[in-house]
Amino acid sequence: MAIQGAAITGQRPAAPRAVTPQRQAIVLALALGLLALVSATSLLVGTHSLAPHQIAGTLLDYQGTTVDRIVAHIRLPRLVTGLLAGLALGGAGAIMQGLTRNPLAGPGVLGINAGAALGAVLAIGVLGIGSVTGYIWFALAGAALVATLVYLLGAMGRGGATPLALVLTGAAVSALAASITSAISLLDRSAFQDFRFWVVGSLTRADLDAAVAILPFIAVGAVLALAAGRTLDAVALGDDMARSLGTRLALARITCAIAVVLLAGSATAIAGPIAFIGLVVPHLARALVGTGYRVVTLMSMLLAPLVLIAADAGGRLLVAPQELQVGIVTGLLGAPFFLALVGRRKMAAL
């Protein structure tokens, strides 16, 4: 994993942008309210549009009607899965960017999502493990192994684990993992039917039991991520300054690595390798609430599910009555942002 603090090329970190606590509280409250609104909307829209009173009726008095089944077995599991996966990806992205001081870091860009997907697909297609509680361990192991591999390979170059080296290495390892994943799915037709949507990132087959099974992993990862906020603020000043402030860098990196693996691996296990959420959202969070990592991480955990659920609802409406998988929508939205970010960094280096 990209867990080395001195990944940026020797430039002094920018001074933190001051944002008052009052503004931070207002922005967080607005984000929470918008998340609630988008969540409610996602329950209403789809092939069959529903009214608010129908949703309330199902939640308060389930009778087994067609509407009840749509809400309870399709849209509600989809919403809960999107909330959990988005929270996890947003938190993982914020932690990775803070720990590496690398604005290009993200679970998808650095190969962690692809590693988790490969681990889960190996469990499903090769070992025949069909439950989330079974293959979550393989997803977490795949995320950890690929993260470590990307960091070790990226650090082998002359300049060490620079942002560009990590991004290029992550792209190469992601491509390798994706190729193996595709090979497994093509060789096993039944497995292909099971996870052909999941591989591109999807909430189509969301399941409440799976969400409940994955919740403890995401909860632990989120707690570790939020607890690391003050440490990441010290790391942003540089390794020497962080040590002088009493930061135990080795412990901080291990803790953050565990948080990222738990969050990214869990999100991939329940929703597939959804691209760019973990990369883009922390940048939006910093633009809104400043650079303090405790609030940036919290804001990312609110914004990421908001973006993910909105993208899922949009995918249902854009090509209705068909459906565009959420991983495709986030890829279409996130790729231009990533290219713009890379372009800005190249210009800054000239």
Contact 139, 131 (CB under 8 A): no
* Mean predicted confidence (pLDDT) in 35-56: 90
CA angle 268, 304, 274 (to 5 degrees): 30
Contact 300, 245 (CB under 8 A): no
Residue with tokens 């361990």: 137
Q: pLDDT band at 300, cuts 50/70/90?
A: very high
Q: Which two tokens stand for residue 208?
A: 């409440």
**CA 83, 110, 290, 342 torsion-angle sign:** negative
Residue 159, phi-psi category: left (phi > 0), alpha (psi -120 to 50), beta (remainder)? alpha
Q: pLDDT tens digits for 58-98?
A: 989 888 888 989 999 999 999 999 999 999 999 999 998 88
Indicate the domain borders of the chain. 65-349
**Cα 12 → chain centroid:** 28
Closest CA to 261 of 112, 50, 104, 90: 112
pLDDT at residue 303 greater than cutoff 90: yes
* Mean predicted confidence (pLDDT) in 252-277: 87
CA distance 90 to 205: 22
pLDDT at residue 170 greater than cutoff 60: yes
Contact 79, 55 (CB under 8 A): no
CA distance 300 to 270: 19
CA distance 202 to 229: 30
pLDDT at 78: 93
Lowest mean pLDDT among 72-81, 217-226, 240-249, 259-268: 240-249
CA angle 265, 267, 271 (to 5 degrees): 125
pLDDT at 222: 96
Q: Name the DSSP letter for residue 199.
A: G
CA distance 105 to 95: 9
pLDDT at 198: 65
pLDDT at 16: 47
pLDDT at residue 286 greater than cutoff 50: yes
Residue with tokens 């190969």: 111
Closest CA to 305 of 35, 41, 78, 43: 35
CA distance 271 to 315: 15
pLDDT at residue 319 greater than cutoff 80: no
**pTM for this prediction:** 0.84
pLDDT at 299: 96
Q: pLDDT band at 14, cuts 50/70/90?
A: very low
* Mean predicted confidence (pLDDT) in 148-157: 82
Fold of the 65-349 domain: ABC transporter involved in vitamin B12 uptake, BtuC (1.10.3470)
Q: pLDDT tens digits for 179-191?
A: 888 787 777 666 5
pLDDT at residue 348 greater than cutoff 50: no
CA distance 308 to 250: 33
pLDDT at 17: 54
pLDDT at 8: 39
pLDDT at 350: 38
